[in-house]
Amino acid sequence: MSIRHALATVAALAATAALAQAYPSKPIKFVVPFPAGSATDVVGRVLADAMGKELGQSIVVDNKAGAQGTIGAGEVKNAAADGYTLLVTTSTTQAAVTSLLRKVPYDPIKDFTPIGKIATTPFVLICNERVPATDLKSFIAYVKANPGKVRFGQGSSGSWVSGSLFASMIQGDMQMIPYKGIPQAITDMLGGSIEVVFADLGNAQAQIKGGKVKAFGVTSTRRSAALPDLPAITELVPGYELVPWFALMAPANLPRDVAARLGNALQKVLSQPEVRTKMQASGLDIDWTDANALARLIDSEIKRWAQLTKAAKIEAE
């Protein structure tokens, strides 16, 4: 190696170290690929506040909804790998879309740097008061007696696959209606345009507490501590289960020191009682894993969602 080459290498390493040491030196942007009011949005805003304090910089949340989250994820893929544009991602954008969409504008593994897993939340089967059912058993009977007449709204892959898988496993037929996000689907359900939504626990809880909807079951394998009287759907539909997750990602090739700084900050804030309380109040269970575990999770989840969509008899759009 020439002296000039060696000096250039040392200079580059020094510059990288200086960049990491100075990071962050300006505001950070969290891209949330789903609308305001969604579970992903809640995760993003709770984290933005807590991590902003931990990192000593403000963090702005930017909602870029649409196309099952791929619009927002695509924006982060194309952003500079400097730690100032991050993706609050989900099992939708990093796994399910590879089976639900024919074209995805990014590789969920190669085009991103994993920072860490954040939380999970089950979905809740809710419907408007016009549906003549009083519990999960009578709702299943109603769907089977009215093939194609029950409309369910989906605003994410989780809500889509939850509804389709449910219909398939009870040997029923429900009509899927797409939305940009779950809050919009709930609005139409309350207005009578559709009958059913598989909503994240946080959004479902707000409607249940308001007495505006009927709730028949949760998509987790166990009953939710937040809704203990509500059965797990698998109690009547053996084998049924779907629990989405949330994580923090950056563009590919993020400097290791910056990734470590973000990963450490994420782990630290998720252990704070205030953050845990805010998450739980929105139906979210903190479930942290580091970057390496997240990378393995994404790889396994891509395969699992392929199986789920096949079982739900969904054809890629």
Q: What is the CATH number of the domain that holds 87?
A: 3.40.190.150
Q: pLDDT digit string (tens) for 67-92?
A: 899 999 999 999 999 999 999 999 99
In a domain, 20, yes or no: no
CA distance 266 to 172: 43
Spans in the chain with pLDDT lower than 70: 1-21
CA distance 59 to 134: 45
Burial of 61 (0-12, 13-18, 19+ CB in 10 A): middle
Query: What is residue 3's predicted lDDT score, i.e. its pLDDT?
Result: 54
Point out the domain boundary residue: 235, 269, 288.
235
Are 146 and 230 in a shared domain? yes
Are 113 and 127 in a shared domain? no
Q: pLDDT digit string (tens) for 110-130?
A: 999 999 999 999 999 999 999
Strand extents, DSSP E, the chain: 28-32, 59-63, 85-90, 112-120, 123-127, 150-154, 174-178, 196-200, 214-218, 245-251, 285-289
Point out the domain boundary residue: 235, 261, 295.
235
CA distance 262 to 250: 10
Are 112 and 153 in a shared domain? no
In a domain, 2, yes or no: no
Are 101 and 152 in a shared domain? no
CATH of residue 174's domain is: 3.40.190.10
Query: What is residue 212's predicted lDDT score, i.e. its pLDDT?
Result: 85
Point out the domain boundary residue: 235, 252, 284.
235
Query: What is residue 21's predicted lDDT score, i.e. its pLDDT?
Result: 62
What domain count does the chain have?
2
Are 38 and 177 in a shared domain? no
Query: What is residue 6's predicted lDDT score, i.e. its pLDDT?
Result: 47
- Of 158, 153, 236, 162, which Cα lies nearest the Cα of 191? 153
CA distance 170 to 3: 72
Are 156 and 182 in a shared domain? yes
In a domain, 72, yes or no: yes
In a domain, 6, yes or no: no
CA distance 273 to 111: 33
In a domain, 200, yes or no: yes
Are 140 and 165 in a shared domain? yes
Are 162 and 104 in a shared domain? no
CA distance 230 to 158: 19
In a domain, 14, yes or no: no
- Of 306, 303, 291, 296, which Cα lies nearest the Cα of 118? 291
Quote the domain boundaries for residue 230: 123-235
Is there a contact between 38 and 155 (Cβ–Cβ < 8 Å)? yes
Joined together, the tokens standing for residue 230 give: 């509500």
Are 111 and 254 in a shared domain? yes
Are 45 and 176 in a shared domain? no
In a domain, 10, yes or no: no
In a domain, 316, yes or no: no
Are 184 and 35 in a shared domain? no
Residue 238 to residues 129, 169, 170, 261: CA-CA distances in angstroms? Answer: 27, 9, 10, 43
Are 68 and 149 in a shared domain? no
Is there a contact between 71 and 99 (Cβ–Cβ < 8 Å)? no
